[in-house]
Structure formats: C-alpha cells, structure tokens
Amino acid sequence: MSDAIKGNILTPAGWIHGEITFNQRIAAISGASADPALNEAAYILPGFIDLHVHGGGGKDVMEGGDAVRTIAAIHAKHGTTSMLATTMTAPPEDIDIALKGIGAAAAERRKGEARVLGAHLEGPFINSGKLGAQPPYARSAKLADVRKLEELAPLRVITVAPEIAGHQELVKELSDAGMRVQIGHTLGTYEDGVAALAQGARSFTHLFNAMPGLHHREPGMVGAALAHGTYAELIPDLLHVHPGAIRTALRCIPNIYCVTDSTSATGMPDGEYMLGRHKVMKCMGGVRLPDGTLAGSTLTMDQALRNLVGLGLDLADASARVSTYAADYLGLSERGRLAPGAFADFVVLDRDLNLKAVYIEGELL
C-alpha cells in the first residue's frame, strides 16, 4: 500500500500543487502547475544532501564505531536525507578506524538515519601550510594509498592540494577511477587550480576557506574557482563566508552546493568538543580552536536553506543548492529531485520554512 502527501511540490519542471504517492520510491506526482505564493499549502522539497559532515549530537566521525549512525540520525532530524561522513587529517590508524565506521553505516541504513552514501576524505592529502582546523598530519599520496583506504568504505569525494609534488598526477588517476576530486586546504596558485581542473578535479572544498584568496594580480585558488569552476562547496552559516562573497560565488559558479561542515557540537549546548584530535569550543554560534580559528560549524541544512532565502534566493534556487546540485555532482539521478522513480527523500516545510516532516526512502521520521 502506498502513502501520499499533498502540498506545493517542487519538481524538476517547477511547482505543482498536488499529491505525491510513494513507497520507498516515488510512484507518481499528480496535480497542476501552480505558484506557491498563491496558496497556503506546505512546501514539499527534495531532501537535503550534505557532502561534508564531521559530526553532530556530541559525536565525531573520527571516533569510528557507531558514531556515524548517531551523526546521521541527528542530521536527519534537520532534513538531511543523504550525506557523506567526512574524515579529518590524522594518523593512518585514526583514519582507518573512522572509515570502518563509515563503511558499516554505508552498508546498512537503520531506521531514523540519513542515508550515508560513503566518505568524504578531507584529509590527509592536503597542504600542511593551510591546515585550517585540520590536525598536523598532512601527507602526500599515491593512488595505491587511496585504493587501500577504499577497501574500508566507499570514497565518494577526496580533497587534494594539487600543488603538492605528485598530486596533479594523483588528481587524474583518482578522477579516471571515478572518484570526485576537490581542491582544498591548499596554498596553490591560480595556475595550479586550472591545471587540476584540466586533470579532472570537479569541485572546491568549502570555497574561500583554507585557500588563497582573490587578488587582481594573483587570482589564487579562489580566482581559479570563480573563473573556471562548475561546482564548489560553500558553507552558508554566515560566519565562514561573508554574504557578499556568497553572492559573488553564486554569480560565477553555476552549481554551487551548500554543505554544513558540521562538528560534534551540532545540536549541543555551548562547551568543549572534539574535532578529530583537536579540542574545539562552541560559543556564540560558532566552533573555534583555542586561537580563534573557525573549526567547522554547527550549521544544519534546514538553516542553510533559510539562510540562502534570507540572502535573496528564491526557494526553488535555494532548494537546488542544498539538494539537487550535490546529487548531480555525485552522479545520483535518483536523489535530489522529486520525480517518479526517484527515492522518496523529501522534506515538508511550513510557510516560514520550518520543518514539519522528513521522509527518507519513504520512511517518516
């Protein structure tokens, strides 16, 4: 027996005022094209997809074990229906522990959890001179190193600093192997970025953060992204990136998708938490190292959507940036959109964009 819900449904063809019928997947969408501003029905949007999640609910991905499951459940309550659990730069044994936990969660989604699609390996193949909040365990890599890690969990996204010796070749090898390579935690030049894109890199890790900024005579990695990028992550918590810079990126890079870069402090009171091997402090809405460096966020994807709308994006555009573009980037045609045959991953929001319900593969949380 199928379930059904009614409202203003955002489909790939536009808004429909009608009904979705579904089980694990969407069976049908019926109704007529409509302007949602002309009625008071709830909004039904594709479930949020977050490709950069370090923690939540007091748990950190690097703990391994069932920590990822707690994190997936916390973010599901905020509308995230699919996610990538994200590692920190760390000693090899720590990364192995984290990936084993990610692999187990990716193999089986339990009731109440967001679908863990695999891992985002944010470290350790980054530049030690641009760690940001990453612990000091950066190192270079060869394809064989990554292949060994891939035995522990699906590696969907890998952040690489392309200026490190041998990493331009690594970008090509990883891209040819079907992995999504992102440029991040880098001191690379504009030219390094353009070369990495030519080798197959597809995106930029938390654009603007932990990379050289734009200067009119030295465009830097931000310049490479703005001039040549098709995809890029962006953290719209309004702390990591100024609204003016967000608007600049939205005008330049067609498929900007938003991530939380959330930490174990997400959903928790102010206090001290762990981010990999770092102790971080949550206070005044942010998460920082003792020296004041931003160390991830406490952002959730429902708040990311509201922040984008607050910046002036219409709801359909904002929805694409917290769902569809991330799915497209990973090549997931059955997620990130409301269409017959797609997974029944969607969120129901009231007129103030507060969550009323979350469905993950047809399950009502």
Interval 323-350: pLDDT, tens: 999 999 999 999 999 999 999 999 999 9
Interval 216-230: pLDDT, tens: 999 999 999 999 999
Interval 98-116: pLDDT, tens: 999 999 999 999 999 999 9
**CA dist list (Å): 61 to 50, 84, 360, 364:** 14, 10, 21, 25
DSSP H helix total and E strand total for the chain: 10, 20
pLDDT of residue 169: 97
**What is the pLDDT averaged over residues 116-133?**
95
Q: What token pair was written down for 214?
A: 């734009």
Judge whether residue 363 has pLDDT over 80.
yes
Interval 22-32: pLDDT, tens: 999 999 999 99
Question: What is the three-class DSSP state of 299?
Answer: coil
CA-nearest of 202, 203, 220, 160 to 185 is 160
- In whole numbers, what is the pLDDT of the chain averaged over residues? 96
Interval 238-297: pLDDT, tens: 999 999 999 999 999 999 999 999 999 999 888 988 888 888 888 877 888 888 888 889
pLDDT of residue 293: 85
**101 secondary structure, DSSP code:** H
**CA dist list (Å): 248 to 208, 252, 315:** 11, 6, 19
- Report yes or no on whether pTM surpasses 0.95: yes
What order of strands is seen across the sheet that includes strand 363-364? 26-33, 14-22, 3-11, 43-46, 346-349, 355-360, 363-364
**Residues acting as catalytic residues:** 261
- To the nearest 10°, report the CA torsion of 337, 84, 228, 188: 170
CA-nearest of 246, 355, 308, 338 to 21 is 338
Domains of the chain: 47-333 (3.20.20.140)
